Chain A
Amino acid sequence: MAFLVLPLAGLLIRAPWPTLAQRLAEPQVLEALRLSLVTATVATLVCLLLGVPLAWLLARVTFPGRRLVRALITVPLVLPPVVGGVALLLVLGRRGLIGQWLEATFGISLPFTTAGVVLAEAFVAMPFLVISVEGALHATDLRLEEAAATLGASRWVIFRRVTLPLVAPGIVAGAVLCWARALGEFGATITFAGNFPGRTQTMPLAVYLALETEPEAAIVLSILLLAVSVIILASLRDRWVTSP
């Protein structure tokens, strides 16, 4: 516990409290914070949209290569995020395998855009969601789904009215982890989406650059990021834990 709390205490002790308010009021800071919250939330939604069906597939359907897919899903966890960013560039960059075609066909270019930030964050955060949801799916009694089938529920109805509510705590936990990971994402984001204030400069990027010249500003930014995420996570947790 101390191991987790002490670094935080260090930040708080070193914070330049007198100038805090003034530093926080800087438009760049608020812009980075807003961008961080928006992209992390959108990235979490993307992960939910793609990750929940994927987790279901992994937990409920036997198909050749399932083990491989499961192993591949953990790749973003193992990969240094900057390498993940380079990998994304190689695929979705201007000269990337798919990026080239995207730009030629639709005129869409993902690097250096806010969408690119979302993509990089989703890439890195996705495993947290998939692993959490798959675990929850494995923990539910399959026979409840069978019971639903004997009552006339189709696969979709079973998924929506039985499976989904049963794994809801797992999905929420996964989404929270996913969101937190996306919020703190640095390496893949700066590599794939670059760093431009208001467009792709999220809080972690701002913190990193501030460290270069103004460590005090970096501490302020870190505290702000921490405070906002702790408040959001704490309020979420309460809501989900207290509901029956």
Chain B
Amino acid sequence: MFRRVSRWAAGLPLAVALTAGLTGCGSSDQATPAASSSSGAATALTVFAAASLTETFTELGKTFEAAHPGTSVKFNFSSSATLAQQITQGAPADVFAAASPATMKTVTDASLATAPTTFVRNKLQIAVPADNPAKVNALKDLADPKVKVALCAEQVPCGSAAVKALNAAGLKVTPVTYEQDVKATLTKVELGEVDAALVYTTDVLTAGDKVKGLAFPEADKAINDYPIAALSKTPVPDLAKQFVDLVLSAQGRDVLTKAGFQAP
């Protein structure tokens, strides 16, 4: 089912870009009423969050709803770059949690958010199938041409992190594929189609028993910061801020570190 997200996302940016390009409208089509935020009336909070946050944010969303009766939290999980695109094209979002500062910068550059805060960091691991058929033990093993490797495409955060880590190690790795997002990369490992991949620690954890994660020292050179910000055009600024606060709170951090994220 996780596959559907990426497929859907593939069509969305173009569609959004096109409608925005033709009508030139902003985010006025949002259903959120402009009424006061935390007052218990039925309001919705829309959070655009990086795909790697799917499990943790869904949990935090439930916590938030419990603490704010009458508020429903809606998520749009996708690749950070796609989400940033959607936000700059006028998609109705109240909070943006990105998997890289670069994608957040797209949004702040467009003056749609100010002062993002880094709430977690994510480190790369080498993911191998549970039986580790190519006997991969260290990052240098990925340079062996007999080892089939999947990397994220450089255009997405996990891809640029992988490049950084490999450069830091002075390794040249030719993968068999540059996947479009981290989940797709991980799927290739889960199915045993590749012998190894570089993905985030959190993703290795969600994959369960089918994938084994190997930490490697060069990962420290390619740590990914996750910034979060309430968006300036939100009709519910108080709610948005409260959600950001929840993520930054000890409770939020607890949920996130349990999933493999590191505190900043």
Interface residues of A (CB under 8 A from B): 6-7, 9-11, 13-14, 80-83, 86, 89-90, 93-95, 111-112, 186-187, 190-191, 193-197, 200-201, 205, 208-213, 215, 218, 222
- How many chain B residues touch A (CB < 8 A): the figure is 32
Task: Specify which chain A residues have a CB less than 8 angstroms from the CB of B123 in the assembled complex.
Answer: none
Instruction: Kindly state the separation between the CA atoms of A81 and B8 in the bound complex, as whole angstroms.
Output: 11
A-B contact pairs, 14 of them (CB 8 A): A10-B17, A13-B21, A14-B17, A82-B4, A94-B192, A111-B176, A187-B7, A194-B150, A194-B178, A194-B188, A195-B180, A211-B14, A212-B155, A222-B14
Is B184's CB within 8 Å of the partner chain A? yes
Per CB-CB distance, the 5 closest pairs between chain A and chain B, nearest first, are A194-B177, A212-B81, A112-B176, A212-B155, A10-B18
Instruction: Kindly state the separation between the CA atoms of A80 and B191 in the bound complex, as whole angstroms.
Output: 19
Instruction: Kindly state the separation between the CA atoms of A95 and B131 in the bound complex, as whole angstroms.
Output: 12
Task: Specify which chain B residues have a CB less than 8 angstroms from the CB of A201 in the assembled complex.
Answer: 178
Q: Which chain B residue has the least Cβ–Cβ distance from A219?
A: B17
Task: Specify which chain A residues have a CB less than 8 angstroms from the CB of B176 in the assembled complex.
Answer: 111-112, 194, 196
Contact A89 B193 (CB under 8 A): yes
Is B201's CB within 8 Å of the partner chain A? no
Contact B179 A190 (CB under 8 A): yes
Contact A93 B153 (CB under 8 A): no
Contact B192 A213 (CB under 8 A): no
Distance in Å: Cβ of A170 to nearest Cβ of chain B: 30
Is B146's CB within 8 Å of the partner chain A? no
Task: Specify which chain B residues have a CB less than 8 angstroms from the CB of A11 in the assembled complex.
Answer: 18
Instruction: Kindly state the separation between the CA atoms of A90 and B18 in the bound complex, as whole angstroms.
Output: 36
Instruction: Kindly state the separation between the CA atoms of A111 and B187 in the bound complex, as whole angstroms.
Output: 13
Interface residues of B (CB under 8 A from A): 3-4, 6-7, 10, 13-14, 17-18, 21-22, 79, 81-82, 85, 148, 150, 153, 155-156, 175-180, 184, 187-188, 191-193
Instruction: Kindly state the separation between the CA atoms of A14 and B24 in the bound complex, as whole angstroms.
Output: 12
Task: Specify which chain A residues have a CB less than 8 angstroms from the CB of B155 in the assembled complex.
Answer: 209-210, 212-213
Distance in Å: Cβ of A211 to nearest Cβ of chain B: 5
Distance in Å: Cβ of B129 to nearest Cβ of chain A: 9
Task: Specify which chain B residues have a CB less than 8 angstroms from the CB of A90 in the assembled complex.
Answer: 191
Task: Specify which chain A residues have a CB less than 8 angstroms from the CB of B187 in the assembled complex.
Answer: 86, 191
- Known contacts A190-B180, A209-B155; is-contact A94 B193 (Cβ 8 Å): yes
Q: Which chain A residue has the least Cβ–Cβ distance from B174?
A: A196
Contact A80 B4 (CB under 8 A): yes
- Known contacts A6-B22, A112-B148, A195-B153; is-contact A86 B193 (Cβ 8 Å): no
Distance in Å: Cβ of B228 to nearest Cβ of chain A: 20
Contact A83 B3 (CB under 8 A): yes
Q: Which chain A residue has the least Cβ–Cβ distance from B160?
A: A213
Excluding A80-B4, A194-B178, 13 further A-B contacts by CB distance (< 8 Å) are: A10-B17, A13-B21, A14-B21, A81-B7, A95-B191, A186-B10, A187-B10, A194-B177, A194-B188, A196-B175, A196-B178, A211-B81, A212-B81
